[in-house]
Amino acid sequence: MAIVYRVNSGITAPQLAEVFHSSGIRRPADDFPRLQKMIRHADLTAEAWEEEVLIGVARVVTDFSYCAYISDLAVRKEWQGQGIGAELLKRVEEKLGEEVTLVLLSAPGAMDFYPKVGFEKADNAFRIMRKR
């Protein structure tokens, strides 16, 4: 089957939970109300679909003018290594344009992936972690 890429197609909390569970990304995948808030308040989602199954997602918070935070990039394990994550990031970049800086926090296991798709490592970030 062919993979189809869409932007802001209206994913659901159960669909997002399935991708999170399968991908290995650490997110509150069993908390559907929280996932629904994460979807509703994202400014942009780029999605990869095989038929009607969501197989990958990039979720972005942005002002569409200066900066964008890629809060999630997840691809189901059985589809990883096929360029889907890179293609999702490409779709995000195309949608946002050249004026917008992309920023993300990488999971330790993905640190080698991001330089391969054009990101440069930054050492000037700070955070206050969530309580739950």
34, with CB counted inside 10 A (0-12, 13-18, 19+), is: middle
Distance, CA of 44 to CA of 119 (rounded, Å): 19
Residue 132 has a pLDDT of 85
- The upper half-sphere exposure of residue 125, i.e. CA atoms within 13 Å in the direction of its Cβ, equals 12
Q: For 27-69, write each residue's pLDDT tens digit.
A: 999 999 999 999 999 999 999 999 999 999 999 999 999 999 9
The parent domain of residue 7 ranges over 3-116
Write b or e for each residue in 64-93: b if 16 or more Cβ atoms lie within 10 A of its Cβ, otherwise e: eeeebebbbbbbbeebbeeebbbbbbbbbb
pTM, to two decimals: 0.93
Q: Give the CATH number, domain containing residue 107.
A: 3.40.630.30
* Strand 67-75 to 101-104 pairing: parallel
Strand partners, 75: 56
- Taking 80 as the threshold, does the pLDDT of residue 1 lie above it? no
The answer to whether residue 71 is domain-embedded is yes
Note whether residue 128 is domain-resident.
no
pLDDT of the residue at 8: 96
**Does residue 123 fall inside a structural domain?**
no
Number of structural domains the chain divides into: 1
pLDDT at 120 over 90: yes
Is residue 56 a part of any domain in this protein? yes
Three-state secondary structure call for residue 48: strand
Residues β-bridged to residue 68: 62, 102
- pLDDT, tens only, 74-98: 999 999 999 999 999 999 999 999 9
In a domain, 46, yes or no: yes
